[in-house]
Structure 1
Amino acid sequence: MPPRKRFAQHWLRSEAVLAAIVAAADLQPRDRVLEIGPGRGALTERLLSEVAALLAVEIDRDLCRQLVRQFGDRNNFLLLEGDILKLELATPLHDFPRFQNPNKVVANIPYNITGPILQRLLGTIAQPATPVYDLMVLLVQQEIADRLSAQPSNKAFGALSVRVQYLATCEQICSVPASAFQPKPQVNSAVIRLRPRSLATPARNPRQLENLLKLGFGNRRKMLRNNLKSLLTPDELSQHLIALDANPQARAENLSLEQWIALSDRLDSQPFAVNSAPISGQSEATL
């Protein structure tokens, strides 16, 4: 079945990458896995042989028919046809207790909905997702993988990095060339592994932290003293940054996750508001 552009379909055909995804998921016989976008079932086949239950969600009706023909006789396979961004998974699973409450996610997701899927899986700083999965292995655009796993003072480190790392640890497993797909996408990809977490010292006011990130990263070329001048005078901000062991001349990308949390907490007595944006996989400007 040829890929459909409207679903941004690219078939992963590399055996090495498929094996890397399965290995990264650290599958156990008791695991219940949610697979987003099984496509033609190349990864599905490998997952089914490793886990107790596999819940697959596919939006393409023709692919659903093909998947049922391939795996419909497996007692550990259940397919839901629909949009993962709109489905309430709990509702259709009442009669299928074996597939309820997946503890892991494996997905080769369309690049054009990477941001919304991340938000569906992780939630936001102010509203973490429920349920919380133990582990997620995702195949994403290389640029997004770099931003999700970036560390402070790296040019890829931005608001998306802080938002996701607040909710989960992120590591890159391997890079994936465009030649691993049919048809070839215009960009390279990477396999990442996310482990949701609860910080030992979370922000006192998570929504304020989200707002602060939006302001702080509003213009990456400018120093924080310029981006946050609507909140603090340069001298006031310098005092806060020095107290956090940060350079008073710092830009947003120079502060670590912990320093952003601490700065938000120090400003908690003077709440402010901007229009918060959801997690985005497209452009820093939309964060």
Structure 2
Amino acid sequence: MYALKRFGQHWLSDATILERIAAAAHLGAADRVLEIGPGLGSLTAHLLEHSSVIAVEIDERAVAHLRHRFAAEPRFTLIEGDILGLPLPPEATAVVANIPYNISGPILARLTGTPSAPVRQFRTIVLLVQLELAERITARSGNRTYGALSVRLQYLAECELLFGIPRTAFRPPPKVDSAVIRLTPRPFALQATDPAYLEALVTRAFATRRKMLRNCLKGWVESTRLLLALESLQIRPDARAEDLSVENFVRLSNLLVALP
């Protein structure tokens, strides 16, 4: 079966890499794993060695192939459809998947939620994604790839870049290198008193990332109030968004909400 560009399909068949991906989730017999876009079922076969699998596949050709390949496997459940238009299977306890790169953002949002509406269904989420995206998700403050996505996801989960995968490992090879990330959803150590305000603050702060924070937030937060909050948190008045850690953003958000 040839890969279709519209579904972002790139087949990975290296058994060593596939087993490393499956092993990264630390699955047990009691787990029910959600796999998004199983395609030919190469990763599925490795996941079934550890736990039950609920696979969601949009490509009708792949659906027919998977039904035939795993017809005798009672721990395999197949759902045909678009993961972005279907409810998440409530029985799933973990996610392991090679997701389409062209819809990685919306899939991540479905699996993790937002600071004001976090998804706490999964104990672990292991995904094969574009290397550039993996670096953005796991970047720390001061790094050029650190941005609003980094803050949002690190507020919602522990984020780890586990290992890289070269483009030559896929058929057909994508135009970019890839990496495997692991997200462990959990409440952040310091909770935002108003998560929706935190989301808005982070979005505005990184909207023009080369500007100083006080200029990015001009017209949204009164200047004197912002400078007072920055001084209270011992953050330089000329700081940019990329200079603030996730904890800094939460503290700043909480202080701005509390100040009269």
Shared fold (TM-score greater than 0.5)? yes
Report the AA paired with residue 118 of structure 1.
L
Show the counterpart of 2:82: 83
Deviation at 1:14, TM superposition (A): 2.3
The counterpart of 1:148, out of the listed 134, 137, 160, is 137
C-alpha separation in 1, matches of 2:200 and 2:156: 16
What does residue range 12-91 of structure 1 map to in structure 2 within 5 Å? 12-51=12-51, 53-90=52-89
Report the AA paired with residue 220 of structure 2.
L
C-alpha separation in 2, matches of 1:176 and 1:6: 22
SS at match of 2:117: coil
C-alpha separation in 1, matches of 2:111 and 2:88: 12
Unpaired runs of at least 5, structure 1: 91-99, 272-287
Report the AA paired with residue 81 of structure 1.
E
Report the AA paired with residue 4 of structure 1.
L
Show the counterpart of 2:116: 126
SS at match of 2:73: coil
Identity %: 50
CA contact (8 A) 1:40 1:63 kept: yes
Deviations 1:79-114 (A, max 9, x none): 011001111245xxxxxxxxx511110010001100
C-alpha separation in 2, matches of 1:189 and 1:87: 26
C-alpha separation in 1, matches of 2:239 and 2:203: 16
Deviation at 1:234, TM superposition (A): 4.7
CA contact (8 A) 2:18 2:43 kept: yes
SS at match of 2:141: coil
CA contact (8 A) 1:103 1:134 kept: yes
C-alpha separation in 2, matches of 1:261 and 1:42: 41
Report the RMSD for the aligned CA atoms in angstroms: 1.5
State the TM-score, normalized to the length of structure 2. Answer: 0.96
CA contact (8 A) 1:225 1:233 kept: no
Show the counterpart of 1:168: 157
C-alpha separation in 2, matches of 1:233 and 1:32: 49
The counterpart of 1:201, out of the listed 190, 205, 222, is 190
C-alpha separation in 2, matches of 1:144 and 1:22: 20
Report the AA paired with residue 87 of structure 1.
L
Unpaired runs of at least 5, structure 2: none
